[in-house]
Amino acid sequence: MKRAPARKQPPASVDLRDLAECVEAFSGKTIVLLGDFVADEFRYGDISRVSREAPVLILKHRETHVLPGGGANATNNLASFGAKVLPVTVVGNDAAGDALFQYRWIGCGRTGAGRASNAVCHEVAGAVGDSRPSRSGAF
């Protein structure tokens, strides 16, 4: 049995004015966000060599950046649109949690972002070396 040739669908178009109106509608709104706050960690450096034991690049570390990920990223994005975001989450009592609490939208005022004494933050690590970005969870 022969398969019918696939029909090409026209590319979907986006009305940028409608999109801008949607983004502007967030300003002044209060949004409760229940989410898993994650610390995305990016390590920058230069590739010094390839490991003898496995096909793994060895990175000579230069610097590390920790950015909000998961629900923390969604909270940050909504706040940048002008929304008042009330996050409901538990943030670990570790270095990654400290980095997340340094962002003004988590650490200030009345929020539902609590610290758990025996919890740790989820970290997603990425390595950037030799001026070519790459993301990997293998740290």
Closest to 39 (Cα-Cα) out of 98, 112, 103, 124: 124
CB atoms within 10 A of CB 130: 12
Integer CA distances (angstroms), 78 to 85, 99, 105, in order:
7, 19, 10
* pLDDT number for residue 110: 45
Q: Which two tokens stand for residue 122?
A: 């989820």
The whole-model pTM stands at 0.64
pLDDT digits (tens, 9 = 90+) for 41-93: 888 999 889 999 998 888 899 998 888 889 888 888 888 888 888 888 888 88
**Is the model's pLDDT at 95 over the cut of 80?**
yes
* For residue 132, pLDDT beyond 80: no
Per the prediction, the chain carries an average pLDDT of 76
CA–CA distance, 47 with 62 (Å, rounded to integer): 11
